[in-house]
């Protein structure tokens, strides 16, 4: 119970309010944040690692990171959703590629920029639809390069090796795909 | 305003993790000193984060939520230092503390080493990039210096001859040069004048600041079109504002009548 407002946290509370409550030890607030983002965090980990157990370990790790770092977190609107997705993707790639998670720790410390607002279920679902549609709208080769980069964590040289295309072609595909997506989702 | 447009496309590539080699080192070196680009990198990070939503939605296993909350509860609101997803141990608590302390030391050492390694790798990449840029600059300077020396060698060489060239098809243009000193006299040289029709001659005129042109002298040209009028007697009390040459009947005339072929103001 929130000693300030005297009421239980609820589904309408903003991420920022829930983080404050969680930091005071309110488990219900963490539960609501989990219900909001746990599925997305798990989905991206599962997509990258293709393994239920490994994906759940990432999920546990990310929420542990959340309460460990929340005190330093500048929770502008939309920031938490972006932060969790970046962490989930980066930690999963680190694990997939057996890397030390040093780089993602830096992200944990530095991600302050508010992102697109995906706090509500409707906004999350709508954004997910837009992202899937935008990726589907890319030409096959561009989409493949994007997926190898994002979900397998390959560098452009590694993508070129994997697909057998010249490095310059891969670079162009990625830049073109990102330009299309930038146009769709704004600067 | 965007003051470093050359990096526009690199922020998302960087966040995507696909930049490698010198592209990556160059951007990281730039970011160290550019708050504006760091802010744009964070904006790119939020955009790239959205791609995660492109993963097919999958429900976490039943029980995952409880395990997250249990871990949170187990650490307590004031003691959230390490995850407690591990099973409870039956060890002697003293062993547990010793083990935890050892793990903590190893963890701190590992994190410290990983960060050092990351920092040093980045430094090495930056230094390699700087070294390449320096090498390239040095090569450019050496090439420029060698070229400048070669130019000087030609100009100063004892064997060097000077050749003036002009358009192969065009006739050389007539021109004249006058050395005029109002108190001391006049030297006039003409070159490249065309051959004169019969019974015609060139006549040099002083055009005074006021009044009509005054005849200074007549001259003929040699086969190359060169002619001259050296120290003619100049009219007293007049100041020239220009000199001109006309083609006149042989013997000259008191006032110009023919076509003017040269003219030049006294500056």
Higher pLDDT, B164 or B126: B126
**pLDDT class of B93 with cuts at 50, 70, 90:** low
Predicted-complex ipTM score:
0.83
- Note the pLDDT of residue A106: 52
Q: Which of residues 77-136 of A touch B (CB under 8 A)?
A: 78, 81-83, 85-86, 88-89, 93, 100, 102-103, 105, 107, 110-116, 118, 124, 127-128, 131-132, 135
- Note the pLDDT of residue A122: 82
Indicate the burial class of A63 (C-beta count within 10 angstroms; 0-12, 13-18, 19 or more): buried
Residue-wise pLDDT tens digits, A125-173: 888 899 899 999 999 999 999 999 999 999 999 999 999 999 999 999 9
In angstroms, what separates the C-alpha of A140 from chain B's closest C-alpha?
Answer: 15
Q: pTM of the prediction?
A: 0.55
**pLDDT class of B226 with cuts at 50, 70, 90:** very high
- Note the pLDDT of residue A11: 75
Q: Where are the domains of chain B?
A: 1-50, 60-88, 90-152, 175-265
Task: Say yes or no: A184 contacts chain B, CB-CB below 8 A.
Answer: no
DSSP 8-state class, residue B6: G
For chain B, how many residues are written?
Answer: 267
- Note the pLDDT of residue A52: 93
Residue linked to tokens 């589907």: A136
- Note the pLDDT of residue B167: 63
- Note the pLDDT of residue B182: 82
CATH number belonging to the domain at B175-265, selected among 2.60.40, 3.30.70, 2.40.170, 1.20.120: 2.60.40
Query: Who among A38, A107, A185 is closest to B60 (CB)?
Result: A38
Flag whether pLDDT at B53 surpasses 80: yes
DSSP string, B246-265: EEEETT--SS--S-EEEEEE
- Note the pLDDT of residue B21: 80
Residue-wise pLDDT tens digits, B163-197: 767 666 667 788 999 998 888 888 999 999 988 98
CB contact under 8 A, B60 and A42: yes
CA B4, CA B8: separation in Å to the nearest integer? 7
DSSP string, A35-56: HHHHHHHHHHHHHHH--HHHHH
CA B178, CA A81: separation in Å to the nearest integer? 87
Mean pLDDT in residue range B16-30: 86
- Note the pLDDT of residue B95: 66
Q: Are A67 and B84 in contact (CB under 8 A)?
A: no
Flag whether pLDDT at B107 surpasses 90: no
Q: Return phi, psi of residue B201, to 5°.
A: -150, 155
- Note the pLDDT of residue A121: 79
CB contact under 8 A, B42 and A178: no
Q: Which residues of A touch B118 (CB under 8 A)?
A: 102-103
Indicate the burial class of B25 (C-beta count within 10 angstroms; 0-12, 13-18, 19 or more): buried
Give ∠ CA A181-A183-B2 in degrees, rounded to 5: 115
Query: Who among B9, B53, B72 is closest to A67 (CB)?
Result: B72
- Note the pLDDT of residue B89: 39
Structure-block tokens of residue B134: 């320096």
DSSP string, B83-115: ---SPPP-S-HHHHHHHHHHHHHHHHHHHHHHH
- For the ranges A79-83, A155-159, B82-86, B150-154, the lowest mean pLDDT is seen at B82-86
Per-chain mean pLDDT for chain B: 83
Task: Say yes or no: B158 contacts chain A, CB-CB below 8 A.
Answer: no
- Note the pLDDT of residue A69: 78
Terminal Cα-to-Cα distance of chain B (whole angstroms): 53
Q: Return phi, psi of residue A159, to 5°.
A: -65, -40
Residue linked to tokens 């358009």: B167
Angle, helices A52-69 vs A102-110, to 10°: value is 40
Domain A1-119 = CATH 1.10.1740.10: yes
B97 Cβ neighbours under 8 A, 6+ residues apart: none
CATH fold of A138-187:
Arc Repressor Mutant, subunit A (1.10.10)
DSSP 8-state class, residue A78: T
Q: Where are the domains of chain A?
A: 1-119, 138-187
Q: Which residues of B touch A23 (CB under 8 A)?
A: 77
Listed as ranges, residues in chain A with pLDDT below 70 are 1-6, 72-78, 99-116, 187
Whole-number Cα distances in Å, B130 to B14, B22, B27, B223: 20, 10, 13, 67
Terminal Cα-to-Cα distance of chain A (whole angstroms): 40
């Amino acid at each position: 119970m929130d000693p300030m407002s005297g009421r239980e946290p609820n589904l309408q509370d903003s991420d920022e309010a829930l983080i404050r409550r969680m930091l005071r030890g309110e488990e219900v607030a963490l539960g609501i944040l989990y219900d909001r983002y746990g599925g997305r965090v798990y989905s991206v980990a599962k997509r990258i690692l293709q393994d239920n157990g490994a994906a759940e370990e990432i999920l546990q790790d990310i929420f542990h990171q959340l309460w460990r770092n929340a005190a330093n977190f500048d929770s502008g609107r939309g920031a938490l959703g972006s932060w969790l997705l970046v962490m989930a993707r980066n930690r999963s790639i680190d694990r997939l590629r057996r890397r030390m998670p040093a780089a993602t720790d830096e992200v944990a410390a530095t991600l302050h920029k508010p992102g697109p607002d995906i706090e509500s279920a409707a906004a999350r679902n709508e954004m997910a639809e837009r992202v899937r549609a935008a990726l589907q709208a890319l030409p096959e080769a561009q989409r493949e390069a994007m997926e190898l980069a994002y979900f397998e964590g390959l560098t452009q040289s590694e993508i070129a090796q994997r697909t057998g295309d010249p490095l310059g072609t891969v670079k162009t595909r990625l830049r073109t795909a990102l330009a299309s997506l930038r146009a769709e989702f704004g600067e | 305003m965007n003051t470093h447009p050359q990096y526009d496309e690199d922020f998302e590539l960087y966040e995507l993790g696909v930049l490698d080699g010198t592209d990556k080192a160059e951007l990281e070196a730039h970011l160290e000193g550019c708050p504006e680009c760091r802010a744009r990198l964070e904006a790119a990070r939020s955009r790239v984060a959205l791609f995660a939503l492109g993963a097919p939605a999958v429900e976490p296993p039943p029980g995952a939520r409880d395990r997250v909350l249990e871990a949170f509860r187990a650490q307590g609101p004031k003691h959230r230092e390490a995850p407690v997803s591990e099973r409870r141990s039956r060890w002697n608590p003293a062993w547990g503390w010793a083990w935890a302390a050892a793990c903590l030391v190893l963890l701190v050492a590992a994190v410290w080493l990983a960060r050092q390694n990351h920092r040093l790798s980045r430094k090495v990449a930056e230094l390699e990039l700087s070294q390449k840029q320096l090498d390239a600059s040095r090569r450019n300077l050496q090439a420029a210096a060698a070229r400048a020396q070669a130019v000087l060698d030609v100009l100063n060489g004892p064997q060097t001859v000077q050749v003036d060239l002009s358009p192969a098809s065009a006739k050389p243009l007539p021109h004249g040069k006058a050395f005029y000193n109002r108190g001391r006299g006049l030297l006039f040289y003409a070159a490249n004048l065309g051959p004169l029709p019969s019974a015609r001659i060139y006549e040099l005129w002083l055009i005074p600041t006021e009044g009509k042109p005054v005849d200074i002298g007549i001259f003929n040209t040699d086969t190359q079109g060169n002619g001259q009028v050296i120290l003619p007697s100049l009219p007293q009390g007049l100041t020239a504002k220009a000199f001109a040459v006309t083609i006149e009947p042989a013997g000259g005339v008191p006032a110009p009548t023919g076509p003017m072929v040269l003219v030049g103001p006294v500056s």
